[in-house]
Homo-oligomer: A and B are copies of this chain.
Amino acid sequence: MTTMVKVAKLAGVSISTVSHVLNGTRHVNDETRQKVLKAIEETSYRQDALARAMRRSRTDSIGLIVSDGGEPAFAEMIRGVEEEAARQGVTLLLANSAEDPQREARAVQALLERRVDGIILARAAGSGPGALAEFQDQDTPLVLMDRLFDEPYDQVGVENREPINELVQHLTSQGHERILLVVGDVRVATLQERHEAFIEAMEAAGTPAGKQLTVVAEDQQKIEAGISKALAAVKPPTAVIACSTVLAAAALRQVQQRGLRMPDDIAFATFDGFAYADLFEPQLTTVRQPAFQVGATAAELLAKRIADKSREPSTVRLAPTIEYRASTGAPTPA
């Protein structure tokens, strides 16, 4: 491995000069610079980011932990973070928690040990506040993404009440009275918020308190069983709202299994939606969150906090848009 010493020797200058040429931190005579550049070339020297980071106590890198990079919404957020990080000139270290608090903790640990300048975290479902306490200790800047917290953290996610209200209105105005909300794991803040908003919206629409149809469960099997049971009721729901891609898949499976046709037998709407969604028949009404924006904003927020640690924490909520499609009776686009 070539080091600056070798380069300096070859160029006949001091390592100070090599360093300054490399980083543009002070003026260097053009002739001298050329010699250095040539030596760098010849030795195929590559700066050691570790040594540099140690000296500067700053790594110019940030960490991003998501629960599942394969899900379309997260994949898009990752792209947003990547883009903004590239713009800032910092490298991104990516990690998956696979929705497992232990793996999340390990990822946090690994990133902290590598002295990233900050971390963006979309917390795993069962992750307690413990993970967050770590950051206080280390005072490493943290931005929560997608899955927010009630404490005053820097965080960016989406509006959840509004789209639920809109969807409920959209459906009730078509005459739907029994709407099933597939919530899943309410330990996930996003889902919890949608759940609450739904209860209120349905009450406002005249459904007696406690009579709202919802499927709340942590585990995939129980969720499917819950949906199945709901659809098999004497008075089954005439509409379904799924709160995420995975939940939509579970619901669609049951809908197909019962041979229900959308939207005639049952109306269907979902948050997030699928990759290659245009292949679905019928097209699904979808609450599309500005996932790329969420990611990019998270990276911006993090940069601001890294620059100024005494900043007031801010919570950003971006507004999703609802794409009405055939699954809730909207006309199929040409």
> Which candidate, A106-114, A194-202, A228-236, is the interface stretch facing chain B?
A106-114
Write the chain B residue with the least CB distance to A246: B276
The reply on A82 being an interface residue by CB < 8 A is yes
| Contact among B106, B113, B137, B249 for A47, CB-based, below 8 A | B113
Q: Which residues between 241 and 297 of chain A lie within 8 Å of chain B, taking CB atoms?
A: 245, 249, 252-253, 256, 274-276, 278-281
Q: Is the CB of B137 within 8 A of A48?
A: no
The reply on A46 being an interface residue by CB < 8 A is yes
Q: Which residues between 61 and 95 of chain A lie within 8 Å of chain B, taking CB atoms?
A: 61, 69-70, 72, 75, 78-79, 82, 86, 91-95
What's the minimum C-beta distance from A72 to chain B, rounded to whole angstroms?
Answer: 7
The reply on A50 being an interface residue by CB < 8 A is yes
| Contact among B61, B75, B95 for A92, CB-based, below 8 A | B95
| Contact among B54, B95, B106 for A50, CB-based, below 8 A | B54
Q: Is the CB of A44 within 8 A of B113?
A: no
Q: Is the CB of A59 within 8 A of B70?
A: no
The reply on A19 being an interface residue by CB < 8 A is no
The reply on A334 being an interface residue by CB < 8 A is no
Q: Is the CB of A113 within 8 A of B253?
A: no
User: CA of A69 to CA of B49 in the docked complex: distance in angstroms?
Assistant: 25
Collect the chain B residues with CB atoms within 8 Å of residue A110's CB. Answer: 49, 91
List the number of copies, as a whole number.
2
Write the chain B residue with the least CB distance to A49: B113
The reply on A189 being an interface residue by CB < 8 A is no
Collect the chain B residues with CB atoms within 8 Å of residue A132's CB. Answer: none
Write the chain B residue with the least CB distance to A63: B93
| Contact among B47, B114, B137 for A44, CB-based, below 8 A | B137
Collect the chain B residues with CB atoms within 8 Å of residue A114's CB. Answer: 49-50, 61, 91
User: CA of A110 to CA of B70 in the docked complex: distance in angstroms?
Assistant: 23
Interface string of A108-124 (1 = CB under 8 A from B): 01101111000000000
The reply on A174 being an interface residue by CB < 8 A is no
User: CA of A278 to CA of B274 in the docked complex: distance in angstroms?
Assistant: 13
| Contact among B44, B79, B96, B281 for A138, CB-based, below 8 A | B44
User: CA of A182 to CA of B61 in the docked complex: distance in angstroms?
Assistant: 40
Write the chain B residue with the least CB distance to A47: B113
Given A54-B54, A69-B78, A70-B69: A112 and B253 interface contact (C-beta under 8 Å): no
The reply on A51 being an interface residue by CB < 8 A is yes
User: CA of A92 to CA of B98 in the docked complex: distance in angstroms?
Assistant: 14
| Contact among B46, B54, B95, B281 for A112, CB-based, below 8 A | B46
User: CA of A271 to CA of B59 in the docked complex: distance in angstroms?
Assistant: 41
User: CA of A115 to CA of B53 in the docked complex: distance in angstroms?
Assistant: 12
Collect the chain B residues with CB atoms within 8 Å of residue A252's CB. Answer: 279
Extra contacts besides A1-B57, A274-B275 (6): CB < 8 Å: A47-B113, A50-B53, A50-B115, A69-B78, A93-B93, A253-B278
10 contacts between A and B (CB under 8 A): A44-B138, A48-B113, A50-B50, A50-B115, A70-B72, A70-B275, A78-B96, A79-B98, A92-B95, A274-B276
